[in-house]
Amino acid sequence: MAFDGARKPLVAVDDLKMHFPIYGGLLRRRVGEVKAVDGISFEIMEGETLGLVGESGCGKSTVGRALLRLYELTGGTVKIDDYDIAHASPEELRKMRPTMQMIFQDPQASLNPRMTVADIIGEPLREHQKGSALEREDRVLELMDQVGLNRDFANRYPHEFSGGQRQRIGIARALALNPKFIVCDEPIAALDVSIQAQVVNLLEELQDRLGLTYLFISHDLSMVRHIADRVAVMYLGRIAELAPRDDLYAEPLHPYTQALLSAVPEPDPSLESKVERIILRGDVPSPSNPPKGCNFCTRCPLVMDICTKREPQFQEVRPGRFVACHLFENT
Amino acid sequence: MTDTPVEIRKPARSQWWDVWDQFRSHTGAFWGMVVFLIIVFAVLFGPLLWHIDPTYIDIRARNQGPSLAHPMGTDQLGRDTFARMMAGGRVSLAVGMTAMLLALVLGTLIGVLAGYFKKLDGPLMRLTDLFLALPLLPLLLVIIMLFREVLSARFGPEGGIFILMVSAIGITSWMQTARIVRGDVLALKEREFVLAARSIGTPNRRMVTRHILPNVLSPIMVSATLGIATAIITESSLSFLGLGFPPDFPTWGRLLFDSVDYLQQSPARVIWPGMAISLTVLAVNYMGDGLRDALDPRIRGR
């Protein structure tokens, strides 16, 4: 499923900004802000999976949460299914909730330890649907079948399950309201490798069956390669590169993407010795005080004069491929 | 797979059986409950079987030791201590439990509001600090001095004092609960399941009742049991200072107060109310301990 213009975008993000204030000093005054997400724009087509990768702390999860307006945005707009999420009133927002759901990173933390599985999966139904308790139960059991959980587990508590099963509970909860768009916030990061494949395959299967659209946040590049149609690479609150999956993995354009992809382990030992790793020097700058110009200029192996002065434009350099780098700027 | 709709509803009831099973297996809690129930039943139904009036004065039988006619002896006016213990227990337990409930409701409410709503946090916690900084005993004395007459006139001497004692103890002992609950709510609020509920669109009030309150149950439970204990003790100390109920109206604290003068002649008279207070407090503490474990599904399975 490559990028094709005929399908309409389900999610449209324009210049999304999410700054968290820092309070300090004796009077707890606002002394600065963490620019967790600093002006990013992208679209997700219907039925597509957009992979969002980047290192820890680059703002991936914040993007996911901001998209569902779990945070109040600092700026920009988010449109899901033509509704403006960013500026909706609480009541409007509540009505829109069923179209967008989220799967969380830590399946242990994202399930209320005092609720049974049936209660957890049934909670969205209780909030948004006026059905009898019986109908709700039927739907809960149906959902449990869908994600491959034994029906007998309905009255157990989350702590009685393994990590993979817990993540299935989380997925069932996200599916309960027949959403169109699901944000998967590192859904496999806390799971064993053997379970990761199961969960990812389940997500793919559900996508095929229910026509879901995913934003798949992960730092696992091979997993993103497996599941995503297009991939966005984030660095320090901005998108460095956004491209169809095969193009990106075959020929990364942005120096940061190149460095990131060179870090993926090569399974073949004879090839492994030949792999040339691009090792980045230094640390990620603080998002409360990002460098002037391009935010990657402090670590970029191909840094030029202009990089420290002017911020690169995020623009389409080839059909479907967006890069924010002066190397490709053709203005 | 079996017939499902039946299966899901059956354990909805048996969940409470699980709680009961876990509670029973906690030895301390079980015996604590037995002792507490014995005390409660003795205090409630004892006077129906034991016909001596707690205020009946038999001056010829004063200062007696334990005997068949007076199992716990008599006081300096010849009133039967056993009857007075039972009548006093009614009042002490009632004051203790209602004051605890009041403190608990107040403390939980303020704690949850302060922890959950950021704007209320500052004002409510300063209020809590204010109450904590007040010297409680003088405050209680002032409250009682100011309102005793008014309330006695409105609700009768006993009813008025009861309301006064309960509310005085209630509004001076909610602070610990509020602080503990606030701390826990602050921590819970950052947990992912609260975020998950928000992404579902659960409104604030159901968020509190469904996700926050059940998870702060443990600290609430602990402060409840400790609260009963401190409420009984506060009531006792107020009666002991002669500020609680009228002198002829027995409570455990008042009995203790009256007996202190006779400590050397008949030490047993101090021991009875003292023991009753300690036993109740101990029993309630053990019960709370067991209940907290039983209500936590993570511990219950073991």
What is the CB neighbour count within 10 angstroms for residue B49? 8
Contact A51, A230 (CB under 8 A): yes
A204 Cβ contact partners less than 8 Å away, ≥ 6 residues apart? A227
Contact B64, B74 (CB under 8 A): yes
Burial of B186 (0-12, 13-18, 19+ CB in 10 A): middle
Contact A80, A96 (CB under 8 A): yes
Look up the pTM and report it: 0.80
User: Measured between alpha carbons, how far is A316 from A322 in angstroms, rounded to an integer?
Assistant: 4
Tell if the CB–CB gap between B196 and A110 is shorter than 8 Å: yes
Tell if the CB–CB gap between B196 and A170 is shorter than 8 Å: yes
| pLDDT tens-digit series, residues A106-165 | 888 888 888 888 889 988 888 888 878 888 888 889 888 888 888 888 888 888 888 888
Q: pLDDT at residue B166 above 70? A: yes
Residue B161: C-alpha distances to residues A97, B54, B227 (Å) = 53, 19, 20
B2 vs A contacts (CB less than 8 Å): 152
First-residue to last-residue Cα distance in chain A: 31
For testing contact with chain B, the best of A28, A103, A105, A110 (most B CBs within 10 A): A110
A141 vs B contacts (CB less than 8 Å): 4, 8
pLDDT band at B6 (very low <50, low <70, confident <90, very high): very low
pLDDT band at B301 (very low <50, low <70, confident <90, very high): low
pLDDT band at B53 (very low <50, low <70, confident <90, very high): confident
State residue A1's pLDDT score: 44
Q: Which uninterrupted H or E stretch holds A20?
A: strand A9-24
B-chain residue closest to A96, CA distance:
B201
* Out of A105-119, A256-270, B205-219, B230-244, least confident range: B230-244
For testing contact with chain B, the best of A67, A71, A100, A123 (most B CBs within 10 A): A123
Residue that has been written with the tokens 């107060």 in this structure: B257
Burial of A277 (0-12, 13-18, 19+ CB in 10 A): exposed
Positions in chain A whose pLDDT score sits under 70 = 1-6, 330-331
State residue A3's pLDDT score: 47
The answer to whether B200 faces chain A, any CB pair under 8 Å, is yes
